[in-house]
Amino acid sequence: MSTYRYSEQSQPPDAKQITDVAIERFDEVFEVDPKLMSAHVVQQVFPNWDTLRIVASRHDHLDWMHRHWAEKVVSGQRLLDELED
Amino acid sequence: MTIAPELAEPVLEELRQVLGDEHVLTGKAARFNRARVPAPFPVHRWAERVPDLVVLPGSTAEVSEVVRIANAHRIPIVPRDGGTGLTDGAVPLRHGIVVDVKRMNDIKEIDEVNRTCTVGTGINMLKLNEVLGKYGLIYPDDPASYPCSLVGGRIGTSGWSLIGSRYGHSRDLVLSFDFVLPSGKVIHLGDGAGHKLSKSSSGYQLKHLFMGHQGTLGIATEATLKLFPKPEAELSPFFAFPDYDSAYRTVGQLARAGVATFAGAVLFDEWKVDYLRRDDEAYISQPADVRALVCAVAYGYEDEVIAGGRRLMRIAKENGARYLGDEVSEGDWAARHDRYATPLHGRTKAGQVVPMSWHCEDAAINYSNLPQVRIEWHEIVRKLRERFDMFDDWGMFTYTSANTGVDYLAEIDVGIWEQQLDDESWAAWVQAKKDIAAVALHYGGSISACHGSCREGEVDLVPQELGGGYDVMLDVKRAIDPNNIMNPGKYGLDRAYQLDEGVGR
Ligand SMILES: Cc1cc2nc3c(=O)[nH]c(=O)nc-3n(C[C@H](O)[C@H](O)[C@H](O)COP(=O)(O)OP(=O)(O)OC[C@H]3O[C@@H](n4cnc5c(N)ncnc54)[C@H](O)[C@@H]3O)c2cc1C
């Protein structure tokens, strides 16, 4: 179990510039560059755990959607590998 | 008020007698929440669209009584289901009574032998499929509003489905329905004397007439739907291309291949790829030389999906596609069923993020005309944005409509900063909509493949699209709804009542 520390949770990891308009703070979680959110839509302070929770719940939702439509998902990579063999 | 004050109390009393007090809503929240749909509009004119009251009937008999009362008092009536329609169909342009059918959401029968189910039209497809899944069945009407649009709205709009290339669209999937005419009379529409035929040759084919009318002819209350086995397997490969032309060629070949499990393909153009790079909807990490994307989807038994999938992968590979990997492919397809997750922001010309609503201009276009339509549509939106910083080009999708690749749903997404709209910018937007629709017609298409064409701008061109058929539409409207109580103000149908005065046609 890890201890919850407010200071850690309210300090997001340093941003990596991905393109001139998008950044990445957590692996595979992309955000609009904050400098573009300074006039009309201002960014809120967001605890790290909440960002990760929203991302995880989106993934849960997408997994649910696959199961909702079909029993299983066929891997495109597998079919491509077969073609290339 | 469209309900004259001297009528208001007696009418309310009559409605309460039929529905019970709790199902006749006059409060501000209930009425304002049913004044609009997601399509942007000048919010400073919200009050023009607020209904006088909202009713929540629980049965066909109650809907019939409500309509009878409204007809007797000549009160406008607007059917409303999920309220997700993008052409303002459920917006009460003349105030009056909104009939919200969401309470009518029960599953009345699942017939496993004939593969049908019968439901109240207030049911949502996702909720229905949760139940059908337990029987190994599915109702495959799959709009990008899948979690929140409802069966009655699908009938009212004659909706388009993402996987219609395999399973058909709402008009193919809805077998029959009970329908309340503007007089309050209840009829059953569909083939045969029962409820469960998919094909007959007897008489006029009325089912089609009573689908896609945007609530202008009456209210569907109970529907019998065609069911399929729930697919065993899904495949949804996603490919990147260095230019639009090779993506366009690939999508055409995928659709024309005749693969039985092929359920649809979507082409993202350069503008859409740029939009995704901004992370306004979803960020897909991709090299800078990617200029267009294609995703395809197949459903069926695992062995047939694999066999058909091999062919689809080969076609893409031969056209120079780069596969984006299983994670992106699968994640993106799952997200297509639910485009309400769009964050709804866009950019000013200076690049600042602003709150924007999503507007989708769609049209039905033949494959061979897609490239030219795309160029002309983007030019219309570019000129609009040049004048007004509250519009943003979010790019284009083109989706297969049929399993032969004949026609596509072409969609240009436009972000609109609603709070900034004033009369001048709204008028410019309406003109742009008209120009977009005119391009679709110029290339032999239809103004809408998907949600209908009764908003300001596009609606002016409907007579041009339908030609002499539009006159028939006026005659039908007047014959079925002589008092013009059903969703008045839509599709220019008021003209039907001005014919005697020499106006119209
Ligand atoms: C994010 C998003 C994605 C979308 N993607 C698609 C898509 O892929 N395909 C597509 O086809 N559409 C799409 N749409 C548009 C919309 O979801 C469809 O038009 C849908 O069919 C509307 O259903 P609804 O239940 O919300 O109907 P509503 O908006 O409530 O009503 C639509 C029209 O039907 C009439 N109506 C409603 N109920 C009845 C009834 N019981 N009897 C008679 N008339 C009735 C209304 O008066 C109105 O004119 C999308 C919308 C959104 C917001």
Per-residue pLDDT of B172-197, as tens digits, reads: 999 999 999 999 999 999 999 999 99
Indicate if B105 and B174 belong to the same structural domain: yes
Residues B474/B496, Cβ–Cβ less than 8 Å: yes
Q: Residue B133: inside a domain, yes or no?
A: yes
pLDDT bucket at A22, cuts 50 / 70 / 90: confident
How far is residue B440's CA from residue B462's CA, in Å, rounded to a whole number? Answer: 12
Q: Does residue B159 line the site of ligand 1, with CB under 6 A?
A: yes
Q: Residue B16: inside a domain, yes or no?
A: yes
Top mutation candidate among B36, B80, B104 for ligand 1, by most atoms within 8 Å of CB: B80
Q: Residue B466: inside a domain, yes or no?
A: no
Tell me which of A54, A79, A82 to substitute to probe the interface with B (most B C-beta atoms closer than 10 Å): A79
Q: Is A77 on the interface with B (CB under 8 A)?
A: yes
**Which of B338, B353, B379 is where one domain is finished?**
B338
What is the token pair recorded at B316?
A: 């893409």
Indicate if B395 and B296 belong to the same structural domain: no
Indicate if B432 and B479 belong to the same structural domain: no
> Within the 13-32 window of chain A, which residues sit less than 8 Å (CB to CB) from chain B?
18-19, 21-22, 28, 30-32
pLDDT score of B503: 47
Chain A residue closest in CA terms to B302: A74
Indicate if B456 and B480 belong to the same structural domain: no
**Alpha-carbon torsion, ordered B38, B81, B469, B482, to 10 deg:** -120
Q: Residue B281: inside a domain, yes or no?
A: yes
Q: A27-69 pLDDT, tens per residue? A: 888 888 999 998 898 888 889 999 999 999 989 999 999 999 9
* DSSP category for residue B69: H
Note down pLDDT in tens along chain B; length 505 residues: 577 777 788 999 999 999 999 999 999 999 999 998 988 888 888 899 999 999 999 999 999 999 999 999 999 999 999 999 999 999 999 999 999 999 999 999 999 999 999 999 999 999 999 999 999 999 999 999 999 999 999 999 999 999 999 999 999 999 999 999 999 999 999 999 999 999 999 999 999 999 999 999 999 999 999 999 999 999 999 999 999 999 999 999 999 999 999 999 999 999 999 888 876 666 666 778 999 999 999 999 999 999 999 999 999 999 999 999 999 999 999 999 987 656 578 999 999 999 998 899 999 999 999 999 999 999 999 999 999 999 999 999 999 999 999 999 999 999 999 989 999 999 999 999 999 999 999 999 999 999 999 999 999 999 999 999 999 999 999 999 999 999 999 999 999 998 666 544 4
Residue for token digits 């997994």?
Answer: A63
Q: Residue B219: inside a domain, yes or no?
A: yes
Structural domains in chain B (count): 4
Which ipTM did the prediction report? 0.92
Closest residue CA from atom 53 of ligand 1: B84
Chain B residue closest in CA terms to A38: B352
Q: Is A42 on the interface with B (CB under 8 A)?
A: no
Residue for token digits 């790290």?
Answer: A48
How far is residue B496's CA from residue B492's CA, in Å, rounded to a whole number? Answer: 8
How far is residue A17's CA from residue A38's CA, in Å, rounded to a whole number? Answer: 17
Element (H, E) at B394: strand B391-400
Per-residue CA distances from A64 to A61, B82, B179, B399 (Å): 5, 22, 35, 24
Q: Residue B269: inside a domain, yes or no?
A: yes
Indicate if B329 and B349 belong to the same structural domain: no
Top mutation candidate among B84, B124, B189, B448 for ligand 1, by most atoms within 8 Å of CB: B84
Top mutation candidate among B62, B119, B149 for ligand 1, by most atoms within 8 Å of CB: B149
Contact check, Cβ <8 Å, A32/B280? yes
Indicate if B70 and B112 belong to the same structural domain: yes
Q: Residue B438: inside a domain, yes or no?
A: yes
Counting from 1 in the atom list of ligand 1, the atom nearest the Cα of B80 is 30
Q: Is B331 on the interface with A (CB under 8 A)?
A: yes
Per-residue CA distances from A32 to A81, B65, B347, B352 (Å): 35, 53, 11, 10
- SS3 letters across B206-234: HHHHCCCCCCCCCEEEEEEEECEECCCEE
**Phi first, then psi: what are they for A4, rounded to 5°?**
-80, 120
Q: B84-137 pLDDT, tens per residue? A: 999 999 999 999 999 999 999 999 999 999 999 999 999 999 999 999 999 999
Tell me which of A58, A60, A74, A81 to substitute to probe the interface with B (most B C-beta atoms closer than 10 Å): A74
CATH number at residue B355: 3.30.300.330
Instruction: State how far residue B490 is from chain A, nearest Cα, in angstroms.
Output: 36
Counting from 1 in the atom list of ligand 1, the atom nearest the Cα of B86 is 15
Indicate if B3 and B104 belong to the same structural domain: yes
pLDDT score of B504: 44
pLDDT score of B280: 63
CATH number at residue B221: 3.30.465.10
Picking from B455, B435, B431, B462, the residue whose alpha carbon sits closest to that of residue B373 is B435
How far is residue B259's CA from residue B316's CA, in Å, rounded to a whole number? Answer: 14
The alpha-helical segments, DSSP class H, found in B159-301 are 164-167, 170-173, 206-209, 244-256, 270-277
Indicate if B330 and B362 belong to the same structural domain: no
Indicate if B186 and B212 belong to the same structural domain: yes
| Ligand 1 centre distance from Cα of residue B157 (Å) | 6
Q: Does residue B448 line the site of ligand 1, with CB under 6 A?
A: no
Contact check, Cβ <8 Å, A40/B353? yes
Q: Is B268 on the interface with A (CB under 8 A)?
A: no
Q: Residue B383: inside a domain, yes or no?
A: yes
Indicate if B88 and B196 belong to the same structural domain: yes
Top mutation candidate among B81, B97, B399 for ligand 1, by most atoms within 8 Å of CB: B81
Half-sphere exposure of A46 (CA within 13 A, CB side): 15
Its domain, for residue B370, covers 345-461
Contact check, Cβ <8 Å, A76/B329? yes
> Within the 455-494 window of chain B, which residues sit less than 8 Å (CB to CB) from chain A?
none
What is the token pair recorded at B126?
A: 């996702």
**Which of B311, B338, B365 is where one domain is finished?**
B338
How big is the CA angle at B135 (ends B120 and A71), to the nearest 5 degrees?
Answer: 115
Q: Is B347 on the interface with A (CB under 8 A)?
A: yes
pLDDT score of B161: 98
Average pLDDT of the segment spanning A11-39: 89
Contact check, Cβ <8 Å, A76/B231? no
Exposure string of B307-326, with b = 16+ CB inside 10 Å and e = fewer, is bbbbbbbebbbebebbbbeb
How far is residue B39's CA from residue B361's CA, in Å, rounded to a whole number? Answer: 10
Instruction: State how far residue B290 is from chain A, nearest Cα, in angstroms.
Output: 14
**Which of B274, B309, B338 is where one domain is finished?**
B338
Picking from B447, B463, B462, B430, the residue whose alpha carbon sits closest to that of residue B361 is B447
Q: What share of chain B is helix, strand, coil (3-state, %, to 5)?
A: 40, 25, 40
Indicate if B142 and B238 belong to the same structural domain: no
Indicate if B210 and B334 belong to the same structural domain: no
Q: Does residue B140 line the site of ligand 1, with CB under 6 A?
A: no
Chain A residue closest in CA terms to B346: A41
Q: Does residue B123 line the site of ligand 1, with CB under 6 A?
A: no
Picking from B329, B68, B356, the residue whose alpha carbon sits closest to that of residue B218 is B68
Element (H, E) at B122: none
